[in-house]
């Protein structure tokens, strides 16, 4: 049985990865910054910004999944030191412990669409230009480069998954988070959904189950070793289309406002993912379509 250590199991993606990793038959230990976790079995509370704390973790596993850290866009400027410590120093502490204990564990790291230079009506490949516009996005690019450095110097294998817009939730009454979560929470309060400009930016949307299963099924493959992979989905469309689906479902309207200057400055433009690189490596079909999922919400 493959052994997995998941660091960051308390976050949105992390807790779903924990669930599906166990469901798909992996022996999964997990860690996070909180003193308690809803799934206490095999859990260790750890501060990844403290190198000594990392030593509490058993790295004698096949794969170490790193989802721990801070997420955010404009707020990453106000909390730049926090983001630097949690995201970059945290990963470096993990990598340094990994090289000291040796072993064979591969590092699996989750990155973001925000590393890319968006391109209108273009499906982005992993080799397309990067243009991080926030501290958070710069953190992710730096972490990808740290992984390459440690692989080259210490022969620590890695896989990076770049994620666009995940949606869905199996744990509580919040149907989703992020972009879709904002649309839903607004509509559920019987308020109109506000869009900047005409809601024209396009994204790839991935249901959390599809996202987790694709990662878990592909990460053991030798062909994913030392690679960067986009994760796509069945839906590649603009924000207006998605917001209209939610508005229709819950009987609210759309409202359009001018782009705030700060938001316009960090907007990446269209980030739709070409995921052919990962799809060539395994037999996988995305299960969920966003419109069906929205229409089936209670």
Q: Are residues 222 and 239 both part of a single domain?
A: no
Mean pLDDT in residue range 64-82: 95
Count structural domains, the chain: 2
Q: Same structural domain for residues 140 and 197?
A: no
- Same domain, residue pair 226 and 259: no
Residue 132 has pLDDT above 90, yes or no: yes
Shared domain check, 159 and 53: yes
Sign of CA dihedral 208, 211, 214, 219: negative
pLDDT given for residue 38 in this prediction: 67
Give the pLDDT score at 268. Answer: 93
- Same domain for 134 and 260, yes or no, is no
Judge whether residue 197 has pLDDT over 80. yes
Can you give the pLDDT at residue 1?
A: 83
Average pLDDT of 214-232?
A: 98
| Shared-domain flag, residues 20 and 51 | yes
Residue at token pair 């269209």 = 270
Q: What is the pLDDT of residue 39?
A: 67
Residues 136 and 11 in one domain: yes
On whether the pTM is more than 0.85, the answer is yes
Residues 205/167, Cβ–Cβ less than 8 Å: yes
Q: Tell me the pLDDT of the chain averaged across its residues.
A: 95
Residues 253 and 291 in one domain: yes
Residue 172 has pLDDT above 70, yes or no: yes
- CATH code, domain carrying 248: 3.90.25.10
Q: What is the pLDDT of residues 97-130, one digit of tens each?
A: 999 998 899 999 999 999 999 999 999 999 999 9
Per-residue pLDDT tens digits for 8-56:
999 999 999 999 999 999 999 999 987 777 666 889 999 999 999 999 9
Same domain? For 198 and 224 the reply is no
> Do 87 and 144 fall within a single domain?
yes
Q: What is the pLDDT of residue 292?
A: 96
For residues 133 and 16, state if they share a domain. Answer: yes
Residue 160 and residue 18 share a domain: yes
Can you give the residue range of the structural domain that contains 117?
3-165+205-231
Quote the pLDDT of residue 236.
Answer: 97
pLDDT for 239: 97
Convert the pLDDT of each residue in 241-295 to its tens digit: 999 999 999 999 999 999 999 999 999 999 999 999 999 999 999 999 999 999 9
At 178 the pLDDT is 87
- CA separation (Å) from 84 to 48, 87, 214, 267? 12, 6, 29, 21
283-298 per-position pLDDT tens digit: 999 999 999 999 999 8
pLDDT given for residue 40 in this prediction = 67
CATH code of 157's domain: 3.40.50.720
């Amino acid at each position: 049985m493959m052994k997995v250590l998941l660091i960051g199991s308390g976050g949105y993606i992390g807790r779903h990865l924990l669930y599906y990793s166990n469901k798909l038959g992996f022996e999964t230990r997990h860690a996070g910054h909180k003193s308690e976790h809803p799934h206490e079995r095999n859990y260790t509370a750890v501060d990844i910004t403290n190198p000594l704390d990392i030593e509490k973790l058993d790295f004698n596993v096949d794969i170490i999944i790193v989802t721990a850290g801070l997420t955010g866009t404009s707020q990453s400027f106000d909390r730049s030191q926090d983001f630097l410590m949690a995201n970059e120093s945290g990963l470096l502490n993990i990598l340094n412990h990994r090289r000291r204990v040796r072993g064979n564990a591969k590092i699996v790291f989750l990155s973001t669409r925000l590393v890319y230079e968006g391109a209108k009506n273009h499906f982005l490949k992993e080799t397309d230009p990067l243009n991080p516009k926030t501290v958070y996005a710069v953190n992710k690019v730096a972490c990808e480069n740290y992984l390459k450095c440690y692989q080259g110097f210490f022969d620590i294998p890695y896989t990076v998954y770049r994620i666009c817009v995940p949606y869905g939730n199996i744990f509580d009454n919040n149907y989703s988070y992020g972009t879709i979560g904002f649309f839903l929470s607004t509509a559920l309060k019987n308020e109109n959904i506000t869009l900047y400009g005409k809601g024209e930016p396009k994204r790839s949307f991935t249901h959390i189950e599809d996202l987790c299963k694709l990662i878990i099924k592909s990460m053991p493959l030798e062909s994913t070793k030392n690679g960067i992979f986009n994760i796509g989905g069945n839906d590649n469309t603009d924000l207006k289309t998605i917001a209209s689906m939610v508005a229709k479902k819950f009987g609210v309207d759309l409202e359009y406002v001018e782009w705030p200057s700060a938001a316009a400055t960090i907007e990446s433009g269209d980030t739709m993912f070409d995921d052919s690189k990962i799809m060539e490596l395994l037999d996988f079909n995305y299960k969920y379509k966003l419109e069906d999922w929205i229409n089936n919400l209670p």
